[in-house]
């Protein structure tokens, strides 16, 4: 899998849009290898094939895009999902808990979830679904996605530098 991604993001200008798309899709479909794509691009940046700042910006942009799509899907489909999947008392209590948790600790949850595969999708979708204010969401998401992009890019870059030696 890693070799395939390295080949896909090899030193061309196509690499940056590929990183954006894969990372954005990973936020909505957690089976996509978003973090692996960023790490692979970071390794290539260490080798001089890509620009490390551009890899970082592509990862950040893709993460922001994907998280906002997930939030938007949650907001868009909240009514039909509530009618279908959250009609019972237990389900309504779970939604109330999610709303309270996001109101009380939304910043921490959104930032931390970015580092948990699948967790980012669940939290961003739930934030939209329970009506968490977008302004609060985007503030936390800007920070969380930036931290994640720096982490994943640096992991690839430092790893690439280390293996070169």
DSSP secondary structure letters along 57-89: HHHHHHHHHHHHHHHHHHHHTHHHHHHHHS-SH
pLDDT > 80? residue 149 = yes
What is the number of residues in the chain? 165
Q: Give the C-alpha separation, 108 to 82, whole Å.
A: 25
Report which of residues 108 and 10 the model is more confident about.
108
| Cβ-proximal residues to 110 (8 Å cutoff; 6+ apart), any chain | 123, 124, 127, 137, 140, 141, 144
- pLDDT for 66 equals 97
Can you say whether the dihedral through the CA atoms of 55, 109, 69, 4 is positive or negative? positive
Q: What is the mean pLDDT of residues 139-161?
A: 95
Q: Which residues of 10-19 are buried (b: 16+ CB within 10 A; e: fewer)?
A: beeeebbebb
pLDDT > 70? residue 90 = yes
| Cβ-proximal residues to 25 (8 Å cutoff; 6+ apart), any chain | 32, 34, 66
pLDDT > 90? residue 7 = no
pTM of the model: 0.86
The CA-to-CA distance between both ends of the chain, in Å, stands at 24
Report which of residues 13 and 144 the model is more confident about.
144
């Amino acid at each position: 899998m890693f070799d395939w991604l390295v080949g896909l993001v090899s030193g061309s200008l196509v690499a940056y849009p590929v990183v954006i798309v894969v990372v954005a899709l990973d936020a909505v479909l957690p089976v996509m290898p978003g973090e692996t794509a960023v790490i692979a691009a970071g390794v290539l940046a260490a080798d001089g094939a890509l620009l490390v700042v551009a890899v970082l910006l592509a990862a950040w942009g893709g993460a922001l895009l994907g998280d906002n799509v997930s939030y938007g899907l949650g907001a868009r489909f909240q009514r039909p999902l509530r009618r279908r999947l959250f009609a019972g008392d237990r389900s309504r209590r779970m939604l109330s808990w999610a709303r309270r948790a996001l109101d009380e600790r939304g910043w921490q949850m959104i930032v931390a979830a970015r580092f948990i595969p699948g967790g980012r999708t669940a939290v961003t979708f739930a934030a939209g679904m329970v009506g968490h204010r977008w302004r609060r969401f985007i503030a936390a998401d800007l920070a969380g996605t930036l931290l994640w992009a720096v982490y994943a890019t640096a992991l690839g870059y430092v790893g690439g530098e280390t293996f070169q030696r």
